[in-house]
Amino acid sequence: MKNEQYVIGVDYGTDSVRSIIVDAATGKEVAAAVFSYPRWKDGLYCNAPANQFRQHPKDYVEGLEQSIKDCLRQAGPAVAAQVKAISIDTTGSTPVAVDETGTPLALLPGFEQNPNAMFVLWKDHTSVKEAAEINAHAERFDVNYLQYVGGIYSSEWFWAKLLHVLRADEQVRKACYSWVEHCDWIPFLLTGGQRAQDIRRGVCSAGHKSLWAAEFGGLPPDEFFTSLDPLLKGFTTRLFKDTYTADKAAGKLTTAWAERLGLSTDVIIGVGAFDAHMGAVGGQIEPYHLSKVMGTSTCDMLVAPKGDMEGKLVKGICGQVDGSVIPGMIGLEAGQSAFGDAYAWFRNVLAWPVQQLLSESTIIDKGTAAKLAEETLAKIIPALSQQAAQLSFDEHSELAVDWFNGRRTPDANQVLKGVISNLGLGSDAPRIFRAVVEATCFGAKSIVDRFNNEGVPVKGLIGLGGVARKSPFIMQMMADVMNMPIRIHRSEQTCAAGAAMFAATAAGIYPKVEEAMAAMGQGFDVEYYPDQQKTGLYARRYQQYHGLGNFIEDHS
CA dihedral 442, 447, 452, 456 (to 10 degrees): -160
110 burial level (CB within 10 Å; 0-12, 13-18, 19+): exposed
pLDDT at 556: 83
- Condensed to tens digits (0 to 9), the pLDDT of residues 474-497 reads 999 999 999 999 999 999 899 999
- Host H or E run for residue 464: strand 460-464
Domain ranges of the chain: 6-283+492-522, 340-490+525-554
d(CA 242, CA 154): 23
Tell me the whole-structure pTM to 2 decimals. Answer: 0.92
Neighbouring-strand partners of residue 8: 21, 86
d(CA 386, CA 474): 10
Start-end of H helices in 287-361: 340-350, 352-357
* Amino acid of residue 408: R
pLDDT at 2: 47
- Host H or E run for residue 7: strand 6-12
- Condensed to tens digits (0 to 9), the pLDDT of residues 513-532 reads 999 999 999 999 999 999 99
Architecture of the domain delimited by 340-490+525-554: 2-Layer Sandwich (3.30)
- Host H or E run for residue 462: strand 460-464
6-283+492-522 and 340-490+525-554 agree in CATH topology: yes
pLDDT at 492: 87
Architecture of the domain delimited by 6-283+492-522: 2-Layer Sandwich (3.30)
Task: Give percent helix, percent strand, percent coil of the chain, each to the nearest 5.
Answer: 45, 20, 35
DSSP for 483-525 reads TS-EEEES-S-HHHHHHHHHHHHHTTSSSSHHHHHHHH---EE
pLDDT at 3: 75
Average pLDDT, consecutive stretches of 10 residues, N- to C-terminus, the chain (556 residues): 83 97 97 98 95 97 98 97 98 97 98 98 96 98 97 96 98 98 98 97 98 96 98 96 97 98 98 97 97 94 97 95 97 96 96 92 92 95 97 98 96 94 98 98 98 97 93 98 97 95 98 97 96 98 98 93
325, 379, 495 from 498: Cα distances, Å:
10, 31, 5
